[in-house]
Amino acid sequence: MVQERPIKAAVIGPANLVERVASSAREMDDRIAVKFYSYEEEEEILEVYRRASAENEVVLFTGPLAYFRVQGAFPNWAVPSTYVPYSPDWLYPPLLRLLSRGYDIRRASVDGFGGDAINEVYAEIGFDSRGVLSWAETSDEEELYRFHRRAYESGQASCIVTCMRNIYGKLLRHNIPVEWAVPTNSALQELLKKGILLGEAAREAERQVAVGILEFHDPRQEEEMEIPYEYRRERLLLAVHQILLGQFERLGAFVTPTRPGSFLFIATRGSLKEFTRSFRSFDLLDLLKKKTGVAASVGIGFGSTPWDAGRMAYKALQMARRAGGNCCYLLSEGGELWGPLGSSQALKIDIRVTANQALFHLAEKVGCSPPTLSRVIAALCCLDKSFFTSEDLARLTGVSTRSAQRMLKRLLEAGVVRRAGVEKIISPGRNRSLYTFSREEKEVREVLEG
């Protein structure tokens, strides 16, 4: 049996934490090969992530702050990523160090942990936590710094425990007694084990079957052609087939015509991920249009069996048709949807029912299913203009204009979108309603944060 190569994992974090992970990695088995990326300032995180994700199969963060900063900049992760979540275990070492230095930890100012976690830790070490000031929100760094400093200078707090490295440094420079709460060694070892599981799952996903359906029509009418339609059609089929064979040969994909104007291709998810630049583009569409003049609709499905992948491919093709053609949608058996590829507004949507409680509540208010609302909000977040119409929403979500109009009526009543006015049409026809959407609406923000 051939042994698989180790999973290439990147660890991102402050230098001291990265060094501790390096120590833990030496005790791990040979299923994971770890590369370390440290940063000095938090402004470096995004650039560090770009390098790490380009060179590794998974990315592991030593804490949640860097992870969520990257998530805000790159909503669609380039590679599977995770982080060490805050845990009450982080509090024991800093509190005991402050205690040994003679500070009254009953009057500590603590961030990153909720009241329940603090009460649990204090009860374990036999101290009263009623005088502890806590700040559980992941807040603006400067605001949090002022919170701690005011607490100390006013005498409300005798010492500080912070999860934020920059705040720790600032308070230390002002001679304020502070300790930095960091992951325990066991938590860092657990992070590496998660990396192995993520890497194995990603490799398994890349081995999934990928089935694609491509269909096209000849834009020129028969009466416009100087040669008989049958000859033209056969030449066009041969030309398209030749282009597909040339493009898919390097993927090791199987390609065959199924009926006039339609082709079936079979590959693996991993090879198509590379072909589409991580599901971001589908250059084949432009090539077909340039070489043959045809506009194609493509649906690609991923599944554990050819049957499952084929079902997903047909559903994805229907979305490409509804979007007007000359685009590609990809749909996984697990409910992830990418598309429309070939559009400047391609997006990834997770249409699975999630544990996002804010999404459930808002979906109930709107009167639709959580997956549908998730897809609509993801589409609205991709708008690159201040005002939009029902046609814009239909194009982005791959539904009919009538369905988009019905959805907008519900969103309007729920306060998710607002009416901005009317677009007057010069040519004969009805004027079109204009709408606005803001991520900062309270309920929308809660869904996105969830």
pLDDT at 73: 79
Contact 411, 417 (CB under 8 A): yes
pLDDT band for position 98 (50/70/90)?
very high
Tens of pLDDT along 1-15? Answer: 445 788 999 999 998
At position 104, the amino acid (one-letter code) is D
Mean pLDDT, residues 72-83: 80
Q: At what angle do helices 390-397 and 401-414 cross, to 10 degrees?
A: 110
Question: For the domain that residue 418 is a member of, what is the CATH number?
Answer: 1.10.10.10
- The whole-chain average pLDDT of the chain stands at 83
Regarding pTM above 0.85, the answer is no
Predicted confidence at residue 209, as pLDDT, reads: 93
Tens digit of pLDDT for each residue in 420-441? Answer: 887 765 545 566 788 988 877 8
In sequence order, what DSSP letters do the residues of 117-167 get, joined into one string?
HHHHHHHHHT---TT-EEE-S---HHHHHHHHHHHHHTTS-SEEEES-HHH
- Output the pLDDT for position 225: 47
Distance of alpha carbon 111 from alpha carbon 180, whole angstroms: 10
Q: What's the rounded Cα separation, in Å, for the pair 349 and 330?
A: 10
pLDDT at 139 over 90: no
Task: Please state the domain count of the chain.
Answer: 4
pLDDT at position 136, please? Answer: 65
Do the domain assignments include residue 140? yes
Which residue carries 């049996």 as its tokens? 1
Q: Specify if 1 maps to a domain.
A: no
The answer to whether 191 touches 20, Cβ cutoff 8 Å, is no
Q: Which stretch of 216-225, 238-247, 338-347, 364-373 has the lowest confidence by average pLDDT?
A: 216-225
- Percentage of residues in the chain having pLDDT higher than 70: 87
- Characterize 289-304 residue by residue with b for buried, 16 or more Cβ atoms within 10 angstroms of its Cβ, and e for exposed: beebebbbbbbbbbbe
**Mean pLDDT over residues 376-383, rounded?**
78
Question: Same domain, yes or no, for 156 and 97?
Answer: yes
The pair of structure tokens assigned to 396 is 């982005």
Q: How confident is the model at residue 124 (pLDDT cuts 50, 70, 90)?
A: very high
- The CA distances from residue 207 to 54, 107, 189, 201, 273, in Å, are 20, 55, 28, 10, 11
Percent of the chain residues past pLDDT 90, beyond the cut: 33
Note the pLDDT tens digit of each residue in 207-216: 889 999 999 8
Evaluate whether residue 2 is within a structural domain: no
Distances (CA, A) of 197 to 58, 80, 91, 206: 10, 10, 27, 14
Task: Supply the range of the domain harboring residue 426.
Answer: 353-449
| 198 falls within a domain | yes
Q: Give the CATH number for residue 195.
A: 3.40.50.960
Give the pair of three-digit tokens for residue 393.
Answer: 């929403």
User: Residue 370: exposed, middle, or buried by beta-carbon count in 10 A (0-12, 13-18, 19+)?
Assistant: buried
From 297, 313, 343, the end of a domain falls on: 343
pLDDT in tens, 257-295: 998 889 999 999 989 988 888 888 888 998 998 998 888
Lowest mean pLDDT among 34-38, 310-314, 348-352: 348-352
CATH number at residue 259: 3.30.70.270
